A = this chain, B = another copy of it.
Amino acid sequence: MKIGELSKLTGVSVRSLRYYEQQGLITPTRLENGYREYHKFTVEEVNTIKFYLSLGLSTDQISSFLHCVLKNNETFCTEVLPIYKEKLEEIDKQIQMLTNIKSNLEERIRSFNVEIYNKKELEHDHEKYS
């Protein structure tokens, strides 16, 4: 199949398919006219790539083990586990950072509410004593 069909079947843009090829993730053959020709099982490969990208892995990381996981159960590929662990640490750090910022933001937002409360108190006092 040609690139347009693969794109439709996978939902991955033609541009991205060419990029994956450039990154060494897929290697189509060429027809006489220069068009890329893909095997039908490339659909599965591209879906696998999509999955790993959705885990936040880079094309570089994916390329380091894709060859293996396309043939074996993932758990047989020793390259994968360290990458997962590395990514997990990275994500934990990010969550930690975001959580800190979130706390700060919530605290600042709370101080606005306190301010509004103070203003209402003032109005109330005004009524009470006027």
Question: Could you tell me which A residues sit within 8 Å of B by CB distance?
Answer: 54-56, 73-76, 80-81, 84-85, 87-88, 91-92, 94-95, 98-99, 101-102, 104-106, 108-109, 111-112, 114-115
Cα–Cα distance between A92 and B105 once the two chains are bound (Å): 11
Task: Please name the residue on chain B nearest to A77 by beta carbon.
Answer: B112
What chain B residues lie within 8 Å of A75 (beta carbons)? 111-112, 114-115
What chain B residues lie within 8 Å of A92 (beta carbons)? 102
Secondary structure type dominating chain A contacts:
helix
Please state if B105 and A84 are interface contacts (CB–CB under 8 Å). yes
The minimal Cβ–Cβ distance linking A38 to chain B, given in whole angstroms, is 27
User: What would 16 more interface pairs be, CB under 8 Å, given A84-B108, A91-B102, A92-B102?
Assistant: A54-B101, A55-B108, A56-B101, A74-B108, A74-B111, A75-B111, A76-B115, A80-B108, A81-B109, A84-B105, A84-B112, A85-B109, A88-B109, A94-B94, A95-B98, A95-B99
Known interface pairs A95-B95, A108-B74; A102-B88 also in contact (CB < 8 Å): yes
What chain B residues lie within 8 Å of A106 (beta carbons)? 88
What chain B residues lie within 8 Å of A99 (beta carbons)? 95
Known interface pairs A111-B75, A115-B75; A105-B81 also in contact (CB < 8 Å): no
